[in-house]
Structure 1
Amino acid sequence: MTIATAKLSDPTVRAAVTAINDGDRQAFVDLLAPGATMSDDGTDRDPQDWIDREIFTVRGHMEVRSESAGGRTLIADYRNETWGEMRTAWHFTVEDGRISHFATGQA
């Protein structure tokens, strides 16, 4: 069973998932705080490069299975044209309505 994006608890995370699923790179970037960081499977990555390579140039899409930590931690089935579909965990650090860090990896 999936959680409808509109039902996600945290408004910033909800907007991020919406941007990913809509293929709206600018909307996603607008949610990032200045100097935002990210990691993929525990390795620090450049957020701008990563979102292009793993989300927006390869039609990334997320179906959320569960949320915790006030909606800032998600388990989702994530798919893109490079890797296909996999179960992933996403953790968002949100400060003043902007994402200062996000981490993802296989769940």
Structure 2
Amino acid sequence: MAIAVDKLSDPAVRALVAAINAGDREAFRQTLAPGATMSDDGSDRDLDDWTEREIFSSRGHMDVRSESSAGRALIADYRNDTWGEMRTAWRFTVDGGKITRFETGQA
């Protein structure tokens, strides 16, 4: 059973997941601190290139299955038009209400 996005504990993470699921690039960018970074399966990636390819141009969507670490760690079923659906883990670093880093990969 998925956790409703509006029930996610951390406000910044909640806003990021909502932006991904809405396909809203601008709302997504608003969740990030300047200079935010990310990694995928343990390798640092260019955040703008990765999010365009893996989220926005491929219609990415997250169904959150569980959260921990005060809402800054998620297990989600993630799907997009490129890879289909897979179980993923997401960890977020939040400072001042903005996401400074996120790490994702297969769970």
TM-score relative to the length of structure 2 = 0.99
Q: Which runs of 4+ in 1 moved over 2 A?
A: none
1:75 paired residue number: 75
1:42 Cα deviation from its structure 2 partner: 0.1
C-alpha distance in 1 between matches for 2:26 and 2:92? 18
1:66 Cα deviation from its structure 2 partner: 0.1
The amino acid of 1:58's aligned partner reads S
The amino acid of 2:69's aligned partner reads A
- Paired residues, number: 107
C-alpha distance in 2 between matches for 1:42 and 1:48? 17
Which structure 1 segments of 5+ residues have no match? none
1:31 Cα deviation from its structure 2 partner: 1.1
2:28 paired residue number: 28
The sequence identity of aligned pairs, in percent, is: 72
C-alpha distance in 1 between matches for 2:34 and 2:2? 32
C-alpha distance in 1 between matches for 2:52 and 2:59? 10
Q: 1:27-106, aligned counterparts within 5 Å?
A: 27-106=27-106
1:11 Cα deviation from its structure 2 partner: 0.5
The amino acid of 1:45's aligned partner reads R
Which structure 2 segments of 5+ residues have no match? none
Output the aligned Cα RMSD: 0.4
C-alpha distance in 2 between matches for 1:31 and 1:76? 19
C-alpha distance in 2 between matches for 1:29 and 1:56? 12
1:35 Cα deviation from its structure 2 partner: 0.8
C-alpha distance in 2 between matches for 1:63 and 1:31? 19
C-alpha distance in 2 between matches for 1:4 and 1:34? 28
